[in-house]
Amino acid sequence: MNPLTVPVVDASHASASHASPPFEAIGGEAAVTRIVDAFYRQMDTRPDARGIRAMHGPDLAPVKAVLVRYLCEWLGGPKRYSEERGHPRLRMRHAAFPIGAAERDAWLACMRAALDETGTDAALRDKLMLAFFKIADWMRNNGN
């Protein structure tokens, strides 16, 4: 499965009142950047994220920039991630890190807090969290 194809919104979205793609609904690249900043700040400070924080290098700036590009593309915005890094192959790119239910849940807790902190619309937040759950759960690779 290509995670970029995980539907962020259901099919009714296009014909319902929210006609814009999620990238625009969320507030474009500026909003995605704020969310990613908040996400890694959460990861840096939450006790339940200590394990996944330790999987990252000391400087989060490079991975922040990559995640911004990935999420912009995933939300229907500019395709800079693919242009620069090719097919996401996220499961393969995460294979070096032991990811189980605890790591998945810690990642999701950071993202949920980041979406709340940045004031993301609650309905959109819930759709995104469902889609993030599917990707994060599919990333599990150590049997728990």
* Amino acid in position 35: I
CA–CA dist 67, 39 (Å, integer): 10
The CB-of-73 to ligand HEM minimum distance in angstroms stands at 10
- Select the residue interacting with ligand HEM from 63, 101, 123, 130 (CB under 6 A): 63
By CB under 6 A, the residues from 96 to 135 that bind ligand HEM are: 97, 99, 103-104, 107, 132, 135
- Select the residue interacting with ligand HEM from 50, 79, 85, 87 (CB under 6 A): 85
- Select the residue interacting with ligand HEM from 9, 43, 49, 67 (CB under 6 A): 67
Which tokens sit at 141? 């690779």
Helices (H), 1-144: 12-15, 22-26, 28-45, 50-54, 61-74, 80-85, 90-93, 101-117, 122-138
73 lines the binding site for ligand HEM (CB under 6 A): no
CA–CA dist 14, 4 (Å, integer): 18
* Amino acid in position 102: A
Query: Binding pattern to ligand HEM, positions 4-23, x when CB under 6 A?
Result: --------------------
- How many residues does the structure list for the chain? 144
- Select the residue interacting with ligand HEM from 79, 83, 93, 126 (CB under 6 A): 93
* Amino acid in position 124: L
Comparing CB distances to ligand HEM, the nearer of 17 and 58 is 58
Which residues here bind ligand HEM, judged by CB under 6 A?
52, 55-57, 63, 66-67, 70, 85, 90, 93-94, 97, 99, 103-104, 107, 132, 135-136, 139
